[in-house]
Amino acid sequence: MILGIDPGPVTCGAVLYDETARRVSSSSSAAPVDEVLDHWLPAAWDAADVIAIERVQAQGVAGGDIIRTAEVVGRLWQATLDHGVDYGVVDVRLLYRREVLAALDVTGRGNRDALVRARLIEMHGGTKKAAQGTKKARGPLYGVSGHAWSALGVAVAAQGAGRVG
């Protein structure tokens, strides 16, 4: 299992991804940072082998949201290093957005979030209906929405990334 996190200054996308079954176990499109620290990380320490966090990369002058997001990445990383080790989680992977895009083979112009979503759907069934399914016939990506798509991209990309923590 891999916990993928797309951090933000106030909320995070989070996905617990079963890489063997190639399906999402649970997801949140906008979990408050404290919920990720208090719920998602401790749950992942019991279930996940890897915790993957998208790290920020400033391009030019960094605004307030970038700085706050970098602080959130640091809090998530430190919490995992401090407590995850007690549960056997010692594999923390921090990936830049460009590394996620490269791992998913996302190229070209356009909205990168939409391209990541399209690539993940392609990798998990080919069509939105096959990948997400319905309430009665859930697909491997059922329930993924909003920032959880980016978190899923981080989790899938982390399968081939090296250990950082």
Q: What is the mean pLDDT of residues 51-64?
A: 80
User: pLDDT band for position 61 (50/70/90)?
Assistant: low
Q: What is the pLDDT of residue 85?
A: 67
For 68-97, how does the pLDDT look when each residue is reduced to its tens digit (9 = 90+)? 999 999 999 888 888 766 766 668 899 999
Q: What is the pLDDT of residue 126?
A: 87
Percentage of the chain modeled with pLDDT above 90: 54
Mean pLDDT rounded to a whole number for the chain: 87
Q: Please name which of 94, 159, 92, 164 lies closest in space to residue 120, comparing C-alpha atoms.
A: 159
Q: Please name which of 60, 58, 95 lies closest in space to residue 76, comparing C-alpha atoms.
A: 95
For 114, the 3-state DSSP assignment is helix
Angle at 140 between CA 146 and CA 44, to 5 degrees: 70
Integer CA distances (angstroms), 21 to 31, 37, 73, 123, in order: 24, 26, 28, 13
User: pLDDT band for position 113 (50/70/90)?
Assistant: confident
Q: What is the pLDDT of residue 45?
A: 77
The pLDDT of residue 165 is above 60: no
Distance spanning both ends of the chain, measured CA to CA: 17
